[in-house]
Amino acid sequence: MTINIETVDVTNALNDIDQFCDIPNARISGEIFYRSDIYEQELEKVFARCWLFVAHESQFKKAGDYIATTMGEDDVIVVRQKDGSHRAFINACPHRGNKVCFSESGNARGFICNYHGWSFDIAGNLIGQHESGVYEDSNFDASQWGLREVPLIDSYKGLIFANFDAQAPSLKEYLGPMTWYFDALFDNQEGGTEFVGGCIRSTMDCNWKIAAENFVGDILHAGWTHDSAARAMLGGAVSKVSDFDESYSVNWNGHGYEFALDTVGNVAVLGESALNKYLHTIKPSVAERLGDFRSNMIGSVSSATIFPNFSFLPGQNTIRVWQPRGPNKIELYTWVLVNKSAPEDIKEKWRKGAMMTFSPTGVFEMDDGENWEYCTKTARGKVTSKQHLYVGLGPDTLLKDTDLPANVYAGQLNEANSRAFYQYWSDLLKAPNWKAVPDRNVGRTEAGESAAQCVNKEMG
């Protein structure tokens, strides 16, 4: 089947970007969380151009297995093919645009539109219609009217990403050296990872960037925001992050990861000692596989975002996508990730732990939701929305002589990742195409000798 998707024409950049996103001066304005014209620009210049997470490989077992999700506000279906590959299609019939798949996941022979009976096979080909004779009489060319395919799809360690922009850089180039850190969660054991249980869906009345930025580099909020939740789950306060001897904020192309090296600070808040024990048990084999440095990250106080809207917490093992639903609303898609090789009771404890902490009724989620909603809602005030917001912590923390890959900053109590996130966002809003996006990366493209020692053989 030929690629039959029309690309989105990029409209001119807004002329006041530097006013609402002034990173050299470490300032943003609340209007970025509320203005609908900014949101429209995001849909075309961020969500229609960036690599977006669509599914995990463990969600597919056989041909015809599918996941329905969204890329930005575009409904898509990801379908496993007979050859084991995955393809993504717009979940809309090419005749009158009706949705062709209404369930979230399952196995299907194909997809039949409810409106006029257009029928598509799992490869997206249009294979028939109700009253097929009238199409034959109209010299209808069915080969031109298959489901519209998302041009790019690729995966990294089980995570499947898709991209509407055929001119985009490869997923490998897009993620860059950040994958070295991602492996601490996604490749710390033989056999890789899987999702356990289903997708938890919920909504918040906040802008998607507030949530994405919280995970890209904001551990600062935890000790204050989550104090009561931590007391409920742990019987004590959140670890005092400034007491850690060594911690980092790293970023690349707007993605970011902030972390300490305390191994189990994140997992501890699930209140299940068996999970702490599991991580301590696997730690020596992680050290053998990934090196000592990353074996300290498997459940440490940490968080990460892959630009624009895919985030995760190692330790809590919560994975989420902040699906934009207008400038001041998100739909959260949340899953729990575990090592495939973990014992079943450990997987189950992680699933329950996520329900207790990071789900619509989770004690941590509610803490965050309240804050994020009001960060958004205050910007409803016209005057308030124009006021500057401070993102200046950690101005001179870039580490120039480190063997760690990507742009590396000392300390996780640091807004370097938030600045990098908003800078990349602003660069995309200005750029008419991918070639015009400036490369602001200054760090190593791969781990140097001291960081890479003891890495597994696959990585060479």
Partner 1 sequence: MKQIFLCKAGDLPSETVRKVENAEYGDIAVYNLGGQFYATADLCTHATASLAAGDIEDDLIVCPVHWGTFHIPTGEARGFPCEVGIKTYPIKEENGDLYALIEAPEQQAELIAKG
The least CB distance from residue 106 to partner 1, in Å, is: 14
The least CB distance from residue 262 to partner 1, in Å, is: 54
Q: What share of the chain is helix, strand, coil (3-state, %, to 5)?
A: 35, 25, 40
Q: Looking at 86-211, which runs of residues are DSSP E strands?
A: 86-90, 105-107, 110-112, 119-121, 126-128, 152-156, 159-163, 193-204
The counts of H helices and E strands in the chain are 15, 21
Contact status, residue 161 vs residue 154, Cβ threshold 8 Å: yes
Which is closer to partner 1, CB of 140 or CB of 434? Answer: 140
Q: Which x/- pattern over 106-135 shows residues binding partner 1 (rule: CB under 8 A)?
A: ---xx-x----x-x-x-----xxxxxxx--
Q: How many residues bind partner 1 (CB under 8 A)?
A: 14
Q: Looking at 268-410, which runs of residues are DSSP E strands?
A: 302-306, 310-313, 318-324, 330-339, 388-390, 407-410
The least CB distance from residue 318 to partner 1, in Å, is: 38
Which is closer to partner 1, CB of 96 or CB of 109? Answer: 109
Which is closer to partner 1, CB of 133 or CB of 235? Answer: 133
Which is closer to partner 1, CB of 146 or CB of 314? Answer: 146
Contact positions with partner 1 (CB under 8 A) in 323-352: none
Q: Which x/- pattern over 130-149 shows residues binding partner 1 (rule: CB under 8 A)?
A: xxxx--x-------------
Which is closer to partner 1, CB of 114 or CB of 456? Answer: 114
The least CB distance from residue 146 to partner 1, in Å, is: 14
Which is closer to partner 1, CB of 129 or CB of 305? Answer: 129
* Cis amide leading into 308 (omega within 30): yes
What residue type is assigned to position 255 of the chain? H
Contact status, residue 371 vs residue 365, Cβ threshold 8 Å: no
Measured CA to CA in angstroms, residue 296 lies from 230, 264, 290, 416 at distances of 22, 8, 10, 22
Residue 274 found at the interface with partner 1 (CB under 8 A): no
The least CB distance from residue 127 to partner 1, in Å, is: 6
Helix, strand, or coil here: 365?
helix
* Residue 27 burial (CB count, 10 A): 18
Which is closer to partner 1, CB of 147 or CB of 297? Answer: 147
Q: Which residues pair with 87 in a beta bridge?
A: 79
The least CB distance from residue 119 to partner 1, in Å, is: 5
The least CB distance from residue 133 to partner 1, in Å, is: 8
> Which parts of this chain interact with partner 1 (CB under 8 A)?
109-110, 112, 117, 119, 121, 127-133, 136
